[in-house]
Structure 1
């Protein structure tokens, strides 16, 4: 597998730091980790995707499913996606924007902003490819 997931608890938030490639092979692991968090009663989830360097349609599907799951249990999902630059997560931001689904997510440029309940999610469009 070409993905790594580190889990951390920060105040009320469960943070899954994901790095590597989010694709057909690795997306079931992310799906399982999200389901495990919900099953353990953790309904405040941050997916830190700043370290994801590739995301295909399977990865997008897992992200959309995670959003749906968190909404169905009354939880909250936030995502960390750098807007531009050389950071790996900027690729995911572009993919979500190109597919028209980025607007579905609460997106933050870094983890401190995602954990700050007074911070507003980014509302700007994803950068052009």
Structure 2
């Protein structure tokens, strides 16, 4: 499934809703959108991953790089994703990276 990234805003947070597959070919689009938000002065970003159907290690790498970028500019990065059974959650668990991120089960709690 092709990757799409849509921009939004909620309670002062920039929200990037990501849908589709985050893989070697498509995940740079997410990196580009996070960099664009930072370039515009945004320092609070939520990545909504609830629509991501597949994520490989390159997708995780982009998320880790995004976290690093936000921390380097004293910003905040939050992820929205299911805490159970989804492919993305299984990848996070298998790679042991879940603890690196502030993860929320829904957008309302992430953007509060």
- TM band (smaller chain): over 0.9
RMSD over aligned CA atoms reads 1.1
**Which runs of 5 or more residues in structure 1 are unaligned?**
117-129
1:102 is matched with 98
1:125 is matched with none
Aligned residues between the structures: 112
- Establish whether residue 91 from structure 1 lines up as the match of residue 87 from structure 2: yes
**Which runs of 5 or more residues in structure 2 are unaligned?**
none
Equivalent runs, 1:116-127 vs 2, <5 Å: 116=112
Q: Give the Å deviation of 1:40.
A: 0.3
Q: Which has the larger radius of gyration?
A: 1
- Establish whether residue 111 from structure 1 lines up as the match of residue 97 from structure 2: no
CA distance in 1, matches of 2:13, 2:29: 20
Q: Normalization by structure 2: what TM-score?
A: 0.96
Runs of 4+ with deviation above 6 angstroms: none
Structure with greater contact order relative to length (CA < 8 Å, sep ≥ 6): 2
Q: Give the Å deviation of 1:11.
A: 2.2
